[in-house]
Structures are given as C-alpha cells and as structure tokens.
Amino acid sequence: MEELVREIRQEFRIPPYYEDAVIERNIKEGEFRLSRLNPGRDIDEDLSYRSLLKNYVYYAFHNVTSEFFDNYASSILEWQLGSEVAEDAT
C-alpha cells in the first residue's frame, strides 16, 4: 500500500499536505469498485488494473469519480475482455 501511495503522489503530483490516509481510503474504494467489474485480479500482477486504480485515485482526489467511469469505460472494457481471453488461453 505504501508503494502505491508513493507512486500516486509522484505520478499525479499530489501535494504533501494531502494525507496518506485519504489516499489509502481512495485506493481501497477504487479496489472495491474495480474488483466488482473484474473479480480476482491482482494489483501487483495486473498492470492494467494498477493503472486504472491509480487513475481512479486521481479522479477521487478531484472528487469526480463518476467521471472516471465515463472517461475510462473503454479501458475498463478492454481490461475485462483481456482478462477473459487470458483465462481462456490457460
């Protein structure tokens, strides 16, 4: 979790006065919401999931998470379909 918070701070230039605890809550909320769309994904193994989650947290930082799902709908669908193809291939 600490590594992910650090990545988000660096990539999106989140100011230091914005508490880690708030970012962690946003990460947990994003994990919950995204994992319902594609269950069983691992944030460390699935880089698409990790990227989507980091972008969700960025939108949460700006209090516009509903816009995240509108703006990333095609990426989320691609992530879901890619997971299904990968599972069928094994």
pLDDT in tens, 9-24: 999 999 999 999 999 9
pLDDT tens digits for 20-61? Answer: 999 999 999 999 999 999 999 999 999 999 999 999 999 999
- Computed over every residue of the chain, the mean pLDDT equals 93
Nearest to 57 by CA among 42, 10, 79: 10
Buried b (16+ CB within 10 A) or exposed e, 21-52: eebbebbeebbeebeeebeebebeebebbbeb
